[in-house]
Amino acid sequence: MSKGIITRINKDLYTVSSDTEVFDCRESGKILYKKVKPTVGDYVLFDKETLRINEILPRKNSLIRPLISNIDKLFIITSVKKPDFSSFLLDKLLLIALSNNIKPIIIFTKEDLLNLKEKICIKKYKKYYKSLGYIVYSNTQIKKIKKEFKKSIIALTGQTGAGKSSLLNRLSKDLKLETNEISEVLGRGKHTTRMVTLYNLFGGLIADTPGFSSLELSINKDDIKKYSKEFNVECKYKGCKHINEDGCKIINKLSKNKIYDERYKNYVKLIKEVEK
Ligand SMILES: Nc1nc2c(ncn2[C@@H]2O[C@H](COP(=O)(O)OP(=O)(O)OP(=O)(O)O)[C@@H](O)[C@H]2O)c(=O)[nH]1
Ligand SMILES: [Mg+2]
Ligand SMILES: [Zn+2]
């Protein structure tokens, strides 16, 4: 039996990469009827003769959107215009990464479309997120981004039209991935990338993924608090969620900083979203 990693899934055909070879495999009867379906990023045991996948090896983590497993780093592709910047979406994606034990890397795109005033505003956000300890790049910082690849499995995520495939094309001239202008009417992308595909690049693997126009969060309230840096503090009452509790330290700190307030609003909105 050989070990490999699934790099692409097309209906019931699984592309498995093993050393430097690539195999087109199908599921064996043994796993076909199991609840857990193989995803891109899964390490599998397969038979080179029969081209059957016999076993999915234990996962480090598994995301639903994008559907991918064993991710070390999530490149959060954050467009500042077309589609417009949304700190709510960014905060949501940070939570998805952190709660799945994935290192988030924020990459801003389309800063060239901003006027001076907007540039100053985005700069403040970048500074703030850096102050929280996150890595923040622009999609023009190719050298720095390349350094993130070594020995890592990376997934791109972000809205449709945010510039995920374009970034990969910038990083490697050979990929030539399809990209598309965003729809002027809807102000967002056209769902150009349809499949999750892992590419071998700079000593790591990176997945281009389909963008989304809306995204559900499936983590619990305690974890939202745990992974929201400024709000992961204890208050007067043990387990205070900082929503409307009397004497809450967090609520008392509001209005001191615009982005802090905005992150707080996002936090409350996310808690309410999972309460539904
Ligand atoms: N001005 C500008 N345009 C960009 C930038 N990055 C990407 N674009 C454009 O944005 C549009 C959408 O880019 P894509 O790379 O197709 O976006 P995507 O995130 O892969 O979208 P989906 O595959 O639908 O999820 C294309 O017209 C790109 O040329 C950027 O930094 N500046
Ligand atoms: Mg794309
Ligand atoms: Zn509180």
Share of the chain above pLDDT 70, in %: 100
Instruction: State the pTM of this model.
Output: 0.96
Tell me which fold the domain 2-58 belongs to. Answer: OB fold (Dihydrolipoamide Acetyltransferase, E2P) (2.40.50)
Instruction: Kindly report the average pLDDT of the chain as a whole number.
Output: 95
Average pLDDT for 69-79: 98
Distance 167 CA to ligand 1 centre (A): 8
What local confidence, expressed as pLDDT, does residue 118 receive?
A: 98
Q: What are phi and psi of 15, to 5 degrees?
A: -85, 120
Ligand 1 within 6 A of CB of 138:
no
For the ranges 87-96, 98-107, 198-207, 234-243, which has the lowest average pLDDT?
Answer: 234-243
Residue identifier of the C-alpha nearest atom 9 of ligand 1: 163
Q: Which residues contact 198 (CB under 8 A, 6 or more apart)?
A: 5, 6, 7, 8, 17, 40, 41, 153, 205, 206, 207
Range 154-183 average pLDDT: 97
Q: Rounded distance, CA 175 to CA 160, Å?
A: 19
User: Which of 203, 204, 236, 241 lies closest to 222, judged by CA?
Assistant: 241
Residue 86 has pLDDT above 80, yes or no: yes
- pLDDT confidence of 186, banded at 50, 70, 90? confident
Return the CATH number of the domain spanning residue range 63-208: 3.40.50.300
* Domain positions in the chain: 2-58, 63-208, 221-275
